[in-house]
Amino acid sequence: MSNRHLARAIAMQSLYQWDFLKNTKHEQDIKKILSHNKEEFAPDFDDKGFINELVDGVVKNFDEINSLITKYAPEWPLDQITIIDRNILRIGVFELKFAPNIPSKVAINEAIELAKSFGGESSGRFVNGVLGAIYRDMSEKGDIKEIDKEKKSAPGVEEKQTEEKIT
């Protein structure tokens, strides 16, 4: 498992726990949850702040992220999406829309991989559908991140696989 993938998994687990306990008598601060999960799942892991960046970004943009999920998954009210899928989508939307240094295709591919690992049987397809629709809409509107405009690496097998997943 790559370092960034592990960081995304810890961020997802922390957001899941926070979301699950939200509005209950056991509600906890996301910072405490995140600190506990880092210590529990990867005590010696130096993510260079990436986990915090993901979680803080999701929390900071929470309402806008939820609005985008609601818009692009109209058949699924937010509270009816499983907690796992909902928080994977939140990370994916954050990386897709608000993280300028994460290529869009990487954001989508990583979210799909999290969904396949942690979600249900159709989670990967669901996450792909929602994030793919957001990406297509961004592309049609010319709302492309600078990093997506740059061709930093030669096309390879991974890029082809990623492209297949978002069509």
Each as own residue / partner, the long-range contacts of residues 121-127 (CB below 8 Å, 24 or more positions apart, any chain) are: 123/82, 123/84, 123/85, 123/88, 126/73, 126/85, 127/85, 127/88, 127/89, 127/92
Mean pLDDT of 118-124: 95
CATH of domain 3-165: 1.10.940.10
- Find the range with the poorest average confidence among 48-57, 109-118, 134-143, 151-160: 151-160
Mean pLDDT of 115-144: 96
Question: Quick one: what percent of the chain has pLDDT higher than 90?
Answer: 75
Per-residue pLDDT for 121 more than 60? yes
Domain boundaries, the chain: 3-165
Distance (Å, whole) CA 134 – CA 7: 23
Distance (Å, whole) CA 121 – CA 163: 21
Axis crossing angle, helix 30-41 with helix 3-21, rounded to the nearest 10: 140
Cα of first residue to Cα of last residue in the chain, in angstroms, is 25
Helix, strand and coil in the chain, % to nearest 5: 70, 0, 30
pLDDT per residue as tens digits for the range 23-53: 777 778 899 999 999 988 888 888 888 999 9
Which pair of tokens denotes residue 86?
């909902």
pLDDT recorded at residue 158: 44
Which residue type, as a one-letter code, is found at position 13? Q
Per-residue pLDDT for 162 more than 80? no
